């Protein structure tokens, strides 16, 4: 096949609104998909994208061997959507073996995956399908209304001002308007970090994992909940330790306050990580899944906790007056923690290697037994 006309729906409107699973391959299939999406949401621009791809298909089908396909991503536009699009593209390349593609999209957001497409196949052209709008005030208002009701845009635009107004009203009600500036900058900054670091995608994946564990009746559901509670306890313990030190007669500085937080919370975080890993190990054992790497995780978590704990002890002993350990003793203590961390990590590596070899030997015995019976 010469050319693949590739229609891009990065936010999976086709699946969410019309209930159609991608990739959609073939002229009739894409025509039916566009009609279904148009009936589900007449204002959806991806309908026009598919119709635009069909028009290109009809124009070049008389001259060259051509096929049309539509691939979709995910409602949470980002890495998860791009990964799904890449997987579907690889399936199409393996199935149809096209020499090149023509990419059809409805805007710059869909075209953001062009580098992913170009890394896998030659791109002959890009066609952007834009819906013509009536240039009147009413049409402009309607277009803006549609844009702001889009969850992807409204979550980004409305939440920071909403947080700022909420913080201001709360502190004004408490007769402390000066604290509103700190609260506003802090809350908006946390939200921007939350979105910028992709923690919303992480929470979404965590929610899906918990739901899957619950529906499948896995023990990991209980251990994940327990790990979450341990994380909350760890955070509260660390904040409480910092708060009491901040209220005391000595101001330690930001680094030392961070060490106070770590010193009070690190083992709670380690316990949460080990608890989640133990639940996963139990589920894997019950399902007969063997992954040697999973057995070493608790050891590395414990080793990491030792290093953070020892470092916090050294810094607190050197920069605070009310810490019970002397600076010299703290250095010796850190050395012991470091050696213990390395020994624990090596033990985890040895255990992983042992389980991997045992699994390999078990597979060889099974193969020999099967060959003997045959």
Give the span between the Cα atoms of 359 and 238, in whole angstroms. 42
Residues whose CB falls within 8 Å of the CB of residue 304, separated by 6 or more in sequence, listed in order:
270, 341
325: helix, strand or coil: coil
| Residue 150, pLDDT score | 66
| Residue 231, pLDDT score | 83
| Residue 36, pLDDT score | 92
pLDDT tens profile 2-22 = 899 999 988 888 988 888 988
151: helix, strand or coil: helix
DSSP assigned state of 124: E
Residues whose CB falls within 8 Å of the CB of residue 40, separated by 6 or more in sequence, listed in order:
17, 18
Whether the Cβ atoms of residue 279 and residue 219 lie closer than 8 Å to each other: yes
| Residue 157, pLDDT score | 73
pLDDT tens profile 216-243 = 667 777 777 888 888 888 888 888 777 7
| Residue 29, pLDDT score | 92
200-232 CB burial, b ≥16 within 10 A, e <16: ebeebeeeeebeebeeeebbbbebbbbbeebbe
Query: Low-confidence residues of the chain, pLDDT below 50?
Result: 134-135, 137-138, 249-251, 361-362, 364-374
Answer whether 0.85 is exceeded by the pTM.
Answer: no
Closest alpha carbon to 8 in 149, 121, 131, 111: 111
Sheet of 24-25: strands edge to edge? Answer: 24-25, 66-72, 3-9, 100-105, 122-128
| Residue 154, pLDDT score | 67
Whether the Cβ atoms of residue 216 and residue 280 lie closer than 8 Å to each other: no
């Amino acid at each position: 096949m010469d050319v693949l006309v590739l229609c891009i729906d990065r936010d999976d409107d086709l699946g969410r609104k019309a209930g159609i699973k991608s990739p959609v391959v073939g002229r009739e299939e894409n025509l039916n998909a566009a009609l279904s999406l148009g009936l589900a949401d007449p204002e959806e621009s991806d309908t026009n994208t598919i119709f635009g791809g069909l028009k290109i298909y009809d124009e070049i089908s008389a001259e060259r061997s051509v096929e049309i396909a539509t691939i979709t991503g995910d409602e949470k536009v980002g890495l998860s959507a791009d990964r799904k699009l890449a997987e579907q593209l690889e399936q199409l390349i393996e199935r149809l073996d096209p020499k090149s593609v023509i990419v059809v999209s409805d805007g710059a957001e869909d075209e953001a995956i062009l580098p992913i497409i170009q890394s896998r196949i030659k791109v002959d052209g890009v066609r952007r399908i834009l819906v013509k709008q009536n240039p009147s005030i009413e049409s402009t208002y309607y277009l803006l209304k549609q844009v702001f009701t889009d969850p992807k845009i409204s979550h980004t635009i409305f939440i920071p001002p909403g947080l700022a107004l909420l913080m201001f009203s709360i502190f004004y009600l408490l007769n402390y308007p000066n604290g509103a500036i700190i609260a506003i900058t802090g809350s908006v900054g946390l939200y921007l970090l939350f979105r910028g670091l992709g923690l919303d995608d992480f929470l979404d994946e965590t929610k899906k994992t918990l739901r899957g564990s619950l529906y499948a009746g896995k023990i990991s559901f209980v251990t994940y909940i327990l790990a979450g509670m341990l994380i909350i306890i760890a955070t509260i313990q660390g904040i409480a330790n910092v708060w009491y030190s901040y209220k005391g007669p000595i101001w330690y500085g930001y680094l030392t306050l961070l060490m106070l937080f770590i010193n009070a919370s690190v083992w709670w975080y380690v316990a949460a990580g080990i608890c989640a890993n133990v639940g996963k190990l139990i589920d894997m054992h019950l399902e007969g899944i063997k992954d040697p790497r999973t057995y070493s995780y608790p050891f590395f978590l414990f080793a990491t906790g030792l290093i953070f704990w020892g470092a916090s002890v050294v810094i607190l002993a050197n920069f605070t007056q009310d810490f019970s350990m002397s600076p010299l003793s703290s250095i010796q203590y850190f050395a012991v923690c470091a050696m213990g961390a390395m020994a624990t990590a090596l033990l985890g590596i040895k255990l992983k290697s042992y389980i991997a070899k045992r699994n390999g030997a078990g597979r060889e015995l099974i193969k020999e037994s099967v060959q003997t019976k045959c």
